[in-house]
Amino acid sequence: MATIKDVAREAGLSIATVSCALSGKKNVSHNSRIKVFVAIEKLNYVPNESARKLKLRTSRDIGVLLTSIDDLYHSEIFKGITTVIQENGFSVNIGFSNNQPRVEKEIIANFISRNFAGIILISCLANDPVYIRSLLSSKIPVVFVERRPRKKNINFAGITNKKTIGFLVDRLRAAGYKNICLFCGNPVISSESDCVTAFKERYLKKRRGTRDRINYTNMTREDAFRVALAEFSANPGPEAIIATSGNIAHGILEGARVLGVSLEKSVIIAFSEETWMDTRYLPGALHTSRPAFKLGSGAASLLLRNIRGETEKPETLLLDDNILNTGIAIPRYVPQKKEKNPGKIPELRILMLNTFFAAGAMEILAGKFRNDCGAALVIETDTQNRLLDRIMNDSFAGKPRYDIYMFDIPHLNYLAQNECLEDISDFISSDKDYFNSITKKMLDNSLYQNRYYSIPFVGGAQLMFYRIDLFEDPIISKDYFNIHKTKLRPPRTWQEFNAVARFFTRRHNPASPVEFGTSCPGIIAEELCPEIYSRIWGFGGRFFGRNNLPQFSSGNNAEAFENLKELQNYTPGPIFSTSIIDTVRDFYSGKTAMLISYTLYASKIMDAINRNIFGKLGFTFIPGRSPISTGWNLGINAFSNKTEIACKFFKWLYRQDVNYYFTILDGQSTSVFPYQNNELLKFYPWMQITGENLKLARKRNPHTKNAIVIPWNKIEDIVYLYTRRMFEGEATETCLKNIDEGITALMDIYGHFYQRQHENQ
């Protein structure tokens, strides 16, 4: 049997520190406590039982951990807990995890180190078996509420959600409702999984051929709003909606209001708690009556029985929703009459990039623009590498198809010089106060020769995303230190980035918890070149020198390219066969430990991680703090006859409320409004560093004066061609020299040779 000496040796700490961590007599640092509990779990150490019981006889503190302070259901559970605990002479210590695993672990470690008599918790880590074993190994009595771990021998108190869902679906179908949607939380949570299972069994199996009507959220109002926007844009008239929390119901109703979707004849039923106050709930929504107070008091009674030694084995307390006994008054379904065609309205045709953060979000909110401004948005899309050619061909056509173009920032100068875009400087200057809401750095990206030819639509800079759970794991950190003699942290240089990527690549480190360190996009020039530029800047290099002459052939640049070549050893597949979407998927599916990508993809990453590896996302500045400025602008076709409507559309985009909605859909904004909203900053935490990140970001293309603008994709095609040859084995120095020669020849074709001669005189 392991002793306290063994624990101290394994943790690399003194016996006194281990003793203090277990007894709570003195403050012990968070990192030291984690080391102690990891060692305890590994060695299966059990403290002296008689000493522990002696401690428990003097401890009168109960730790209660809830996920959110905003959840009314959880607050009612807490009321039930405190009533029983305080009546029995114990004190309650409450903590909130905000559904963040790291916060939960810190609070629980604090409860254990202070030797609390017992713990009651609603856990965001109930599906993590290692964490659950570690928690139970402390031998402090624990009762789990609502979210049940997979481990069998535990104390648990919850609601029979399967019964509730089955009851509601049966009642809705009996009342004539056929089109039923479920809005719920992450199905890895047992309470939500029960709802999903029952819905599939009672509704979907009887509706063969229908699409899955289940909409998953992270149970916040903001995320429910985002999901509702997407659902209602595709299915504007659901007959009935079941929401598994009040927060979700709030988001659903706001989404319907924004899109102008009428739910007056739809039935919305929200899971809620028992109360005599119907006005406490959303108007027009029905609600269930979960006995939250009774659940809390029952969980507390169960814990006290454990503390007093009155139970021989773990117990389960399951309570029914009160509506199973009292029923619920669901009105009969009345078929909705089709609205009359309002007649033809003006159309604004937009050519956009075929991604969700662009066209997808715009299509969802197109109905709101129609309701607000009386005009329809007709959206067509194309891929990134084809978009510029589509714009040029349309602009020079006799009858242009589009009124507004979406384009990558580096193409602004070329499009403006070729008179494809309308000069909107007077429009913007006519209401400077209104457009002051645009982030200055983004608005500057709309300028060509001090005139405005566009407005920013999406934008940001590169960020580094990483698996925070891996970087903070004490065993993984110890292994990294043994190899590199330095602390494992989010890398700050590109050399360190490769070292960490190698460490997390299983073929180089069999103990790695993931297969690969990272992945890198290179399937097209537009995706690979930003990876090159960031490394060049990070190594102190540059790609254009005096008079904008190409300067790829340099020692610093050679280091940057060699760094990128080395990275190929730590990625899932060949860089030149990997797209940005592939890299994002590799990361959120748990295949890689790190990812360099854009704020544009952050919401997709967070959403997927919440469902796959639940709440373990970290983000910070990229190595070298050398991000590339990225973004997409909207410009008016210089030959469009709908300039007035287009300008009205631009002003609508920068309304405060509309900007909030786009931010919730995308997780980024070119306006200052969302960065001043605490709710959105909490929902999308990476936005907190966006301001500083934008200050560090550099433009993709160099400034050229008094010369014909070269399409930036032609320059990047040259960089891409010779970088590919470099990866195929050609000498780095030779390829860099070829890049310089190729760009120089291109500049001569566009008249830059004359410009250089003129400037040198």
CATH tag, 347-460+634-696: 3.40.190.10
252 pLDDT band (50/70/90 cuts)? very high
Segment 5-26, tens digit of pLDDT = 888 888 888 888 888 777 655 6
Percent of the chain topping pLDDT 90: 52
Using the Cα atoms of residue 640, residue 642, residue 644 and residue 649 in order, give the sign of their dihedral. negative
CATH tag, 1-47: 1.10.260.40
Given this model, what pLDDT does residue 1 score? Answer: 58
Residue spans of alpha helices (H) in 616-655: 643-653
Span 45-54, average pLDDT: 51
Given this model, what pLDDT does residue 285 score? Answer: 82
Given this model, what pLDDT does residue 263 score? Answer: 81
Phi (first) and psi of residue 460, to 5 degrees: 165, -150
Span 447-462, average pLDDT: 90
Same fold, 347-460+634-696 and 475-629+702-759: yes
> Which of 632, 169, 582, 239 has its CA nearest to residue 446?
632
Angle at 462 between CA 460 and CA 464, to 5 degrees: 135
Segment 551-566, tens digit of pLDDT = 999 999 999 999 999 9
Segment holding 144, helix H or strand E: strand 142-145
Residue ranges with strand state E in 250-375: 267-270, 286-287, 316-319, 347-353
CA–CA separation, 588 vs 611, rounded Å?
9
Q: Does the pLDDT at position 342 exceed 60? A: no
> Which of 460, 513, 507, 426 has its CA nearest to residue 669?
460
Look at 608 and 760; give whichever has higher pLDDT: 608
CA–CA separation, 42 vs 48, rounded Å?
17
Q: Does the pLDDT at position 714 exceed 80? A: yes
376 pLDDT band (50/70/90 cuts)? very high
User: Are residues 531 and 521 in contact, defined by beta-carbon separation less than 8 angstroms?
Assistant: yes
User: Are residues 517 and 490 in contact, defined by beta-carbon separation less than 8 angstroms?
Assistant: no
> Which of 514, 517, 524, 520 has its CA nearest to residue 535?
520
CATH tag, 161-289: 3.40.50.2300
Residues ≥6 apart with Cβ < 8 Å to 736: 552, 553, 554, 557, 558, 561, 722
> Which of 730, 701, 732 has its CA nearest to residue 561?
732
Q: Does the pLDDT at position 46 exceed 70? A: no
Given this model, what pLDDT does residue 425 score? Answer: 94
Given this model, what pLDDT does residue 102 score? Answer: 79
* Exposed/middle/buried for residue 741 (C-beta within 10 Å: 0-12, 13-18, 19+): middle
Segment 198-215, tens digit of pLDDT = 999 888 766 654 456 899
User: Are residues 260 and 253 in contact, defined by beta-carbon separation less than 8 angstroms?
Assistant: no
174 pLDDT band (50/70/90 cuts)? very high
Torsion of CA 530, 531, 533, 537, to 10 degrees: 130
User: Please, which residues bridge with residue 65 across strands?
Assistant: 95, 121
Look at 222 and 434; give whichever has higher pLDDT: 222
Given this model, what pLDDT does residue 55 score? Answer: 46
Q: Does the pLDDT at position 613 exceed 60? A: no
Percent of the chain topping pLDDT 70: 90
Span 703-714, average pLDDT: 74
Query: Which three-class secondary structure state does DSSP give residue 13?
Result: coil
Indicate the pairing of strand 455-467 with strand 617-620: antiparallel
**Minimum mean pLDDT among 38-52, 141-155, 173-187, 369-383: which range?**
38-52
Mean pLDDT of the chain: 87
CA–CA separation, 281 vs 250, rounded Å?
10
241 pLDDT band (50/70/90 cuts)? very high
Given this model, what pLDDT does residue 735 score? Answer: 96
DSSP calls for 159-184: E-HHHHHHHHHHHHHHTT---EEEEE
Q: Could you tell me the pTM of the whole model? A: 0.78
Given this model, what pLDDT does residue 208 score? Answer: 53
Owner of token pair 């089109």:
179
Using the Cα atoms of residue 465, residue 467, residue 472 and residue 475 in order, give the sign of their dihedral. negative
Given this model, what pLDDT does residue 500 score? Answer: 98
Given this model, what pLDDT does residue 651 score? Answer: 93
Give me the amino acid identity at 522: G
**Minimum mean pLDDT among 105-119, 155-169, 558-572: which range?**
105-119
Segment 627-665, tens digit of pLDDT = 998 889 999 999 999 999 999 999 999 898 998 898 888
List the chain domain ranges.
1-47, 161-289, 347-460+634-696, 475-629+702-759
Segment 111-128, tens digit of pLDDT = 988 889 999 999 988 888
CATH tag, 475-629+702-759: 3.40.190.10
Given this model, what pLDDT does residue 57 score? Answer: 44
> Which of 735, 538, 722, 516 has its CA nearest to residue 621?
538
